[in-house]
Amino acid sequence: MGLFIWAHRGASARAPENTLAAFFAALEDGADGIELDIQLTRDGVPVVLHDVTLDRTTDGRGRLCRWLLRDLRRLDAGSWFDNRFAGEPVPLLEEVLSLFGGRLRLNLELKDGAAARPVLDLVRRFPRAEVVLSSFNRRLLRQLRQHDAGLPLAVLTDQRFWRPALAAARRLGAESLNPRVSLVGPALVAACRRRGLAVVPWTVDGDGPLRRMRRFGVDGLFSNDPAAARRVLRYD
Ligand code: G3P
Ligand code: CA
């Protein structure tokens, strides 16, 4: 078994990030799993979007949390990337669980503190979906753990001093520490190993960084281009 390859926001190098088009592309490209970012609409529905605002990746304006689902769903989340993707909607988490849940592992990154309960309720409706819930927000992760002792969790960190994140991952019973790629080196990998945690860095693209991560012995990684990552990591 090679490294576990997560398609970061879907196969976001060749389709608009966090859309169904990017998730189908990830499936086609042989990713092992899909990473996606979850936030709530004004009416409390979990949807897939990275930024706090809609401006960069849709034709809408302002903060997502001010938009009702019915208005949000009329937006175009594809044209900014390429006209071929015009009309791609902002996906519902429910759609992703239903379409991909039994086919690929899903890494749901919770950006929004209020999303813990609604996401958990939704995930429980899809028992066949294999999920891991990840976040930079440790309070949110603690809430999830209180609700569900067996839920797979992962702790994200972009801090140069990564030891507190590692300790938190241990306390939470997380399966992995997911650090920014620039933080990964022998010390971090060894510390995770000693504590029984997997190491899954983001975002790793390009032959040099991919090979370096393999050399350090990480367990998986997030890539915007899972087809290229597979070529480099498994067939060279
Ligand atoms: O889950 C890893 C990675 O997605 C975290 O950073 O900004 O791409 O959501 P970001
Ligand atoms: Ca993310």
Cβ(156) – ligand 1 distance below 6 Å: yes
Domains in the chain, number:
1
Cα separation values, 172 from 134, 152, 232, Å: 12, 10, 33
Average pLDDT score over residue span 108-117:
93
**pLDDT for residue 64:** 98
193/216 Cα distance (integer angstroms):
12
Domain extent at residue 223: 4-234
Nearest ligand 1 atom to alpha carbon 134: 1
* Phi, psi torsion values for 56, nearest 5 degrees: -70, -40
In the predicted structure, residue 149 carries a pLDDT above the cut 90: yes
pLDDT of the residue at 112: 82
pLDDT mean across residues, the chain? 97
**Domain containing 16 — which CATH number?**
3.20.20.190
Determine if the peptide bond prior to 203 is cis (ω within 30°): yes
Q: What are phi and psi of 223, to 5 degrees?
A: -130, 145
Ligand 2 is an ion; its neighbours by CB within 5 Å are: 37, 109
Query: Which helix H or strand E contains 221, and what residues bound it?
Result: strand 220-223
Q: Measured from the CB, is residue 81 less than 6 Å from ligand 1?
A: no
Atom of ligand 1 at shortest range from CA of 202: 2
Taking the centre of ligand 2 as the mean of its atom positions, its distance from the CA of residue 37, in whole angstroms, is 5
The DSSP code sequence of 76-88 is: -SSTTT-GGGTTP
| Ligand 1 in reach of 17 Cβ (< 6 A) | no
Q: What is the pLDDT of residue 2?
A: 85
User: Does the pLDDT of residue 236 top 80, yes or no?
Assistant: no
How far, in Å, is the centroid of ligand 1 from the Cα of 184?
A: 15
Closest-lying ligand to the alpha carbon of 48? 2
Q: What is the pLDDT of residue 92?
A: 98
CA distance 214 to 155: 20
pLDDT (average), residues 15-35: 98
ipTM > 0.90 (yes/no): yes
Kindly give the distance from the C-alpha atom of residue 112 to the centroid of ligand 1, in angstroms, as a whole number: 13
- DSSP conformation letters of 5-45: EEEETTTTTTS-TTSHHHHHHHHHTT-SEEEEEEEE-TT--
For ligand 1, is residue 178 a contact (CB within 6 Å)? yes
Q: Is 143 in the pocket of ligand 1 (CB under 6 A)?
A: no
Provide the angle, in degrees to the nearest 10, between the axes of the packed helices 163-172 and 138-147.
10
- pLDDT for 161 equals 97
What pLDDT shows up at residue 164? 98
Query: Is the distance from CB of 64 to CB of 52 less than 8 angstroms?
Result: yes
> Would residue 8 show up in a list of annotated catalytic residues for this protein?
yes
pLDDT the model gives residue 235: 64
Q: How confident is the model at residue 234 (pLDDT cuts 50, 70, 90)?
A: confident
The predicted-structure confidence for 177-223, as pLDDT tens digits, reads as follows 999 999 999 999 999 999 999 999 999 999 999 999 999 999 999 99
- The yes-or-no verdict on residue 1 having pLDDT over 70 is no
C-alpha distances in angstroms, 23 versus 96, 222, 231?
8, 14, 19
Q: Over 80: is that where the pLDDT of 75 sits?
A: yes
Share of the chain above pLDDT 70, in %: 99
Beta strands in 41-197 (DSSP E): 46-48, 105-110, 131-135, 153-157, 176-179
DSSP-derived pairing of the beta strands 198-199 and 4-8:
unpaired
For the ranges 18-27, 34-43, 111-120, 181-190, the lowest mean pLDDT is seen at: 111-120
Residue 113: predicted pLDDT: 86
pTM of the model: 0.97
